[in-house]
Structure 1
Amino acid sequence: MNRRQDAAATAWEINEMIITEHREDPEKPSGGQRYLYDLFGKVAMVVPHDHGSQDLLVALLQELQRLPRHTVPHKVGDQVVPKELWVLTPDNKYDGLEQWLWEIDYGFTGSQRQVKHVENVKETASFTLVRPSVFATRDPETCPPEDYQPWVSAAAQWIIYAGDALYELYKKEITTEIGRQKWSLSLWDEWKARFEVATSEKFDYKTRTFAWAALGEMGEAESSGVTTNVAASFGLTSTEE
């Protein structure tokens, strides 16, 4: 966080500590990796959402995934089995990271802590996983601006950092559900409409800036067409198939 050491070197040191923990006592379930994921969330909640340190958190997570593939002994139930570290895919359910994101994000539903820090957590999540947002379940016309603004900032950052991938999911009508809805162009248009509302003067400058940036990215994605292959990479099912 203080830039005294780059993300790659930090990832290597963390990896060595986790390996040592697993190998010294393979009979004991390791909590190091879970602890690290928890720290990601807690730090993301403290660092302002638009601060450069958020990028450092993401860089560290990416560098961990770039480490050479290796396994460590890991206890599951009564058995010790090989566990591959730092591989985040649908096949291994993102190695617990997805569940961790859910717990950090939605585990405190309705609390002030959740609303205050949601945009920070969502920014980190936007770089790592494409996930739905409660931004799409609130009415920006009637919701108090101070309550809706964090969700606008969070949703906008998904678009800013992963707009091309999101557009592919909408365009191909991927069957992964968003609450009770599915990815579709009508939902994409609904998001655009919500961002347009968020550009009004009743929202603060930061929120309006995020909304305008998101609308710009969405327009660019529509003009460029589908340029990614997220559906195939993650094994998602499209209604076009």
Structure 2
Amino acid sequence: MGRARVLWLALLVVAALVVSSCGGTKVSTPENVARAARPASGAAPWPAPPNPLELARKAGLESETHEFLSYHVHAHLDVFVNGQPVPVPAGIGINIDDPAVHHAPFVDGTEAYGGIAPPCKQPCISPLHTHDDSGILHTESAKANPNRLGQFFTEWDVRLDSTCVGGYCRPGSSVLVYVDGGRYIGDPADILLSDRKEIAIVIGTLPDKIPTAFPT
């Protein structure tokens, strides 16, 4: 076997290992994407659900009485439907009705939740949560235990799998996923929420710009 052929096969093996380790690959963005029709159910926007701790358990997460910062990472999530941003609500994974959870109002009428000190008398916060509506997904845990995007969507009570986001499903609607600006091919529920990762879910027509990096 010639030297060039050996080198080519080696490159193919390396490429396959990279793809398998990432759970997806990066491909080009389609030029013409149709507008997504509003589904009969499961249409955006999706509010924060009223049963956060129950959904945290469903996601396999154990809620605590306060935030632990031994393992503290942030990923960022953008969702677009037909080019328009969909808010990621504040308070996902947090029992905002617990008296120990502080509320911080903003001038635009939104609120942030957290700053739990002293601790709640009973579990009130999942290690995976949102404090505000910035799209930052916080993992604050007593031990290193990386979470995945599917767990967050379970807490949000929004369907996420290789076919659908909420009520928007392929092939009727275009659903594209990007990680750090590159197309992700695979089940988005498997995306690891590592620190400063930028995730964009694009449904229907494209926004003017696909986010490529964690916001600063």
Structure with more helix by fraction: 1
State TM-score, norm by structure 1. 0.24
Structure with more strand by fraction: 2
Higher relative contact order (CA 8 A, sep 6+): 2
